[in-house]
Amino acid sequence: METAGSKAIEVTDLTVAYQDKPVLWDIDLNVPPGVLLSIVGPNGAGKTTLIKAILGLVRPAAGSVLIYNKPYEAQRQIVGYVPQRGSVDWDFPTNVLDVVMMGRYGALGWVRRPGRQERELALQALEKVGMAVYATRQISQLSGGQQQRVFLARALVQDATVYLMDEPFQGVDATTERAIVTLLQELRANGKTVVVVHHDLQTVSDYFDWVMLLNIRRIASGPVDEVFTPDNLRETYGGRVAFMKTGK
């Protein structure tokens, strides 16, 4: 599957619109396997929509998305998704382990219940994100950073090849942010492809090796060293970025 030249994610001429208001204009994006890519752009640039379009959660007006040369529907099992933390109700009556096990639901398919094996995998994933001691904790009692780690564990338990994460650093403390970055880099080291919607331009070149600059249309995408330039940033943010350190 991971032959040289194959593409983990291939977005071609993707346009997404709400009524006649375009949210994404004719996006092309090729993500090779084994890169850690961040999508950056101003608010309303369509970052979340792009992730959702790749996952088939919003219907494109034009264009296509391929995951390892096949449409998403055929590749659900190898794609892990981390939605925004605020997208769910954390007062839902369930505990940490249960939420993490949800990551196995796709592999289980309809009707089949999670069992001992799923429990084991979920506990291992919690171990990886440093949340094993919280396994039986009610989810409403978690801090923001802990919630984010639970969501990450839920994606890890899928044992996917491609990960799509929507703002995993939002509202987490510095310790959690470092822990998440280490985890992402571990995933990449294991040959996974990780796409992260990111907000903090300061950390792009430290955390990621690829970047996509997005503002409704694609400004640029590629290795950070090549495309994370002041010119591209100015084009993306419309001259609102005054002081930026770029490159390493």
Partner 1 sequence: MIHNHLDILLIAIVTAVACALPGVFLVLRRMTLMSDAISHAILPGIVLAFFLTESLSSPLLILAAAGTGVLTVLFVELLQRTKLVKEDAAIGLTFPALFSIGVILISRFAGNVHLDMDAVLLGELAIAPLNRLKAFGYDLGPVALYVMGTILVLNLIFIFVFYKELKLATFDASLAAALGFTPTLIHYGLMTLVSVTTVGAFDAVGSILVVALIAGPPATAYLMTDKLSRMLILSAIIGSVNAVSGYWFASLFDVSIAGAIATMTLLVFGVIFLVVPNRGLIAIARRHARQKWEFAQTMLVIHLFNHEGLPEAETESAIADLHEHLSWDPTFTTQVVRYALHNRCVSQDEAQLILTEQGRAIAQQALVQ
Specify the residue for token string 């300061």.
202
Q: For residues 239 and 78, what is the distance between their CA atoms, to the nearest angstrom?
A: 39
Measure the CA–CA gap between 134 and 153, rounded to whole angstroms. Answer: 12
CA nearest to 79, candidates 60, 100, 51, 98: 51
3-class DSSP assignment, residue 93:
coil
Which phi and psi (to 5°) does residue 37 adopt? Answer: -110, 135
- Measured from the CB of residue 223, what is the shortest distance to partner 1 in angstroms? 28
Region near partner 1 per CB under 8 A, out of 5-13, 89-97, 182-190, 219-227: 89-97
Q: Which of residues 59-88 bind partner 1 (CB under 8 A)?
A: 73, 76, 79, 81, 83, 87-88
> Which span (9-17, 91-99, 122-130, 170-178) binds partner 1, by CB under 8 A?
91-99
**Looking at beta carbons only, is 11 or 213 nearer to partner 1?**
11
Judged by CB under 8 A, the residue of 10, 22, 55, 144 near partner 1 is: 55
- 102 lies in the site for partner 1, by CB under 8 A: yes
Residues 108-137 that bind partner 1 (CB under 8 A): 108, 110-114
Q: Which two tokens stand for residue 98?
A: 């249960």
Closest CA to 162 of 100, 226, 74, 102: 74
Give the footprint of partner 1 on this chain (CB under 8 A): 52, 55-57, 73, 76, 79, 81, 83, 87-89, 92-95, 99, 102, 105-106, 108, 110-114, 138, 140, 154
